[in-house]
Chains A and B, each alone.
Chain A
Amino acid sequence: MKIEVLKLSDEKGRFLLRETSSAFVNAIRRSAMAEVPKMAVDYINVYDNTSSLYDEILASRIGLIPLTADLNSFILPEECECGGEGCPSCQVSLTLTAEGAKMVYSGDLFSMDPSIQPSFPDIPIVKLADGQRVMIEAVARLGTGKKHAKWQPAVACGYKNMPKITIKDCDKCGKCIDECPKQLLSLNKELKVKDLMECSLCGLCEKACALGAIEVGVEEDAFIFVVESDGSMPVVELMIRSAEELGKKVLELKEDLESIQKDAGVAEIGQRRRT
């Protein structure tokens, strides 16, 4: 496997992966979207809400605010010693108290644990008119994107095969140049592709060519991978965690298979009849 970084910031990443399979790249993508845990508000106590939004809408809005956290110091409520009841190692509460007239922002959430903060302080939650009040206690827990989109750290995560455009026996008629919606082709003595990676593989240039001189294909083992983070963690951490989560699954399968192998034959006889 070869990995090349094409573009990388905390919010966005674009990578070129070579010598790998679509199955593996897809597993990484699925794992980044649905298996990497992150913090999000999952439960709220509304002590006072005289704003124009319903309690439920406030709950939904607060839940969708991305929270940055030190993920290594928390565990999933399902796996916690407290049995999911709620204890300091699986949840953190945040409070929100505001009185109008003002716009309430995510930065107004006051966290009990300073390591957990809204990723952006400028997300509007609700606009309060004069005299309106909200007083809310929000409980943030760890979760995965499988259960709810608020726990999904990767936004717009996807990949495509590396395009491969072959040009031979071209008569330089230039018809394909006008056809390309991304204007990637140029004719200057010779027909050339300006930015191969931008090609969306639409194949319109192929159709425009009467000679069949241009051919759009893909490299089967090379992928352009695009990820965006929702702000709760940097892209690099997200990708590494997604590989880790996939590794954890495989390891678990391996351990389970080993234990089956050990007591093989015992359970098997009774179960064979069931099928």
Chain B
Amino acid sequence: MFPIRCFTCGKVISRYWEEYKQRVKDGEEPGKILNDLGIERYCCRRIFLTHVETIDILSRYG
């Protein structure tokens, strides 16, 4: 699951994740989406850029 808050600054970022994911899928450029969402600090941005969602894989073995 995507972290609720940025590890470094503590901003609540997880509520932007689903929109981000959808827009990346639709072919938008990640950097531009983040600017648009108001994620301006690089501590928060790196969490979006590097996150790998594994919940769907894990839930198969529940």
B18 touches A120 (CB 8 A): no
Contact of B55 among A127, A149, A155, A231 (CB under 8 A): A127
Question: Looking at A126, A128, A156, A231, which has the most chain B CB atoms within 10 Å of its CB?
Answer: A156
Cβ-based interface call for A230 (8 A) = yes
Smallest Cβ-Cβ distance to A152: which chain B residue:
B10
Cβ-based interface call for A64 (8 A) = yes
Chain A interface SS verdict (over half): loop
**A53-B1 Cα distance, complex, nearest whole Å:** 9
Query: Are A123 and B4 also in contact (CB < 8 A) when A156-B9, A230-B10 are?
Result: yes
8 A Cβ contacts from B16-44 to A: 17-18, 41
Interface size on B, residues (CB 8 A): 20
Shortest CB–CB separation between residue A13 and chain B, in angstroms?
A: 14
B62 touches A124 (CB 8 A): no
Cβ-based interface call for B15 (8 A) = yes
Cβ-based interface call for A66 (8 A) = yes
Cβ-based interface call for A132 (8 A) = yes
Shortest CB–CB separation between residue B5 and chain A, in angstroms?
A: 5
Cβ-based interface call for B52 (8 A) = no
**A123-B12 Cα distance, complex, nearest whole Å:** 8
Interface size on A, residues (CB 8 A): 27
B60 touches A149 (CB 8 A): no
Contact of A65 among B4, B41, B56, B58 (CB under 8 A): B4
Chain A residues lying within 8 Å of B17, measured Cβ to Cβ, are 124
B12 touches A129 (CB 8 A): no
Chain A residues lying within 8 Å of B55, measured Cβ to Cβ, are 52-53, 126-127
A64 touches B4 (CB 8 A): yes
Shortest CB–CB separation between residue B10 and chain A, in angstroms?
A: 5
Nearest first, the 10 closest Cβ-Cβ pairs linking A and B are: A129-B59, A52-B58, A64-B4, A52-B59, A155-B10, A122-B15, A156-B9, A127-B55, A123-B15, A155-B11
Pairs A–B under 8 Å by Cβ, sample size 10: A51-B59, A52-B59, A53-B1, A125-B1, A126-B55, A149-B10, A152-B10, A155-B11, A230-B5, A230-B12
